[in-house]
Structure formats: structure tokens, C-alpha cells
Copies of this chain bind each other. A is one copy, B any other.
Amino acid sequence: MSSDESAARPRRRRNPRGEGARLRDELVEAASDLIAEHGSAEGVSIRAVARRAGVSAPSVYLHFDDRDALISAVLVQRFADLGDAVVEGIEAAGGDASPFSRLVAGCHAYIAYGLGNPGHYRVLFGTPVGPFSPTMSSAAAESLNLLVEGIARCEEAGAAIAGTPLDVATIVWSSLHGQVMLRVVSPSFPWPPVDAMLLPLLRGLVRMPDVTAGG
């Protein structure tokens, strides 16, 4: 009753020949779901993933060398998701929006991803096997570059920033991260609306020229 690996799911159908690799995707999805539910990679066991996928535990080894390889495969996907979400958020602001508006939109999308996928977000940036391990660095660096570019555009448009665009982007990124993590971990805190925190932050760090007064 308890150590029976086939207890949880209806015992999935075997893949046709040549399609065996489909199990790989199903395992990644199952692992991803478990990480999201658990909010952490520790405690997401190979056996639990296999149960979720309706498969025996050793079958995981047909597609992944070990547990770490499975977890890493999930993180690579979710990192790409985060990058895509930020890009979509910026594009949704419209190409004719001001650089500052596009910056706000990108930051907003970042926070929204984190709050909408708290379990994944925590694992993405909360473990030492994090974004700047060799396997993850490209996706993370890409997201940060979006931020650097967004700030540089504001500077080109006349904004005063305190440091290089990379320095300011690092400050902003840290702040976004802190806000997401704390909101996720401590939802009972009386948080102000996201905008009430995001706009003062960005206005303080990226000071656009005031168009309503001569400057």
C-alpha cells in the first residue's frame, strides 16, 4: 500500500517505438509541477516524479543520468519562461511607449511571473545551483541584459541615473527579486500594491526629465 510506486496514477500507456523520448518531456513536466507545489527542489524525489508521471522510478534513468540532471532540465525551461514573460511584457507596452514605460512594463512582468509562479521562482533564484551556474548563466544573463538596455534607453532619453546602466540594473533586479521573494514567503504581511512599490523605486533610480516644467 505504501511502497507501491504505481499507486498514484493510472499507469500510463507505453510510447510507440521511436517515441520513447516523449517520456522525457512528461518527466520534466511532472518534476516541474512537483517543484512548483513543493516550492523547493529538495524533497522532490525521483520516485515522486515517477509516480506523478505514472511510471516506475528506474525509468527516469532512461532519460536522465541522475536526479540533478532532471532538476536542471526543469530549471532551464522555467528560466526560459521567465525571460519570455519579460519580453512579452515589454512588447505589450508598445513600441511607441516611452523608454521609462517600457522599463516599468518589463519590471512588472518580472514581478508578475514571480508572484504567479512562486514555487518555480523560489527554486530559480533561491538555490545555490542557481542562475549563474554554468548551465543557467545564458538565460539569466539575457534577462538582466533586457534590464540594462531598458535603463540605458532611459538614460539616452535624458534620464539621470546613479551609476552605470549595469549598476542601476543590478540594484533594480535585486529589488525586484527581494520584493517577489518576500511577498511569496510572507503573504500575510500587509503589502502595498506592486505599483506603489515599483514606481517609487524606479523613479528614484531613473530620474526622467520633468516635461511639465522647464528644466
**Chain A interface residues toward B at CB < 8 A:** 39-40, 42-43, 122, 125-128, 130-132, 162-163, 167-168, 170-171, 173-179, 181-182, 185-186, 188-189, 191-192, 196-197, 199-201, 203-205, 207
In the assembled complex, how far is the CB of residue A193 from the closest CB belonging to chain B, in whole angstroms? 10
Closest to A124 in B: B185
Contact of A130 among B126, B167, B171, B185 (CB under 8 A): B185
Please name all residues of chain B whose beta carbon is closer than 8 Å to the beta carbon of A42 when the two chains form the complex.
40, 42-43
Bound CA–CA A125/B40 (angstroms) = 14
Contact B125 A181 (CB under 8 A): yes
CB distance from A194 to the nearest CB of B (A): 11
Scoring A171, A173, A199, A200 by chain B CB atoms within 10 A of each residue's CB, the highest score goes to: A171
**A178-B185 contact in complex given A40-B42, A163-B200, C-beta closer than 8 Å:** no
Interchain residue pairs with CB less than 8 A apart (23): A42-B42, A125-B181, A126-B181, A126-B185, A130-B186, A131-B186, A132-B188, A162-B203, A163-B196, A163-B200, A167-B196, A167-B200, A170-B197, A171-B175, A171-B200, A173-B178, A174-B179, A174-B182, A175-B178, A176-B178, A178-B178, A181-B181, A204-B204
A196: chain B residues within 8 A (beta carbon): 163, 167
User: Which residues of chain B have C-beta atoms less than 8 A from A43's C-beta?
Assistant: 42
For A175, list chain B residues within 8 Å (CB): 171, 174-175, 178-179, 201
Q: Which 6 A-B pairs have the closest CB atoms?
A: A178-B178, A204-B204, A162-B200, A177-B178, A175-B175, A174-B178
- CB pair B173–A182 under 8 Å, yes or no, is yes
What would 20 more interface pairs be, CB under 8 Å, given A174-B197, A177-B182? A122-B126, A125-B185, A130-B185, A130-B186, A162-B199, A167-B196, A170-B191, A170-B197, A171-B175, A171-B200, A173-B178, A173-B182, A174-B175, A175-B175, A175-B178, A175-B179, A177-B181, A181-B181, A203-B204, A204-B207
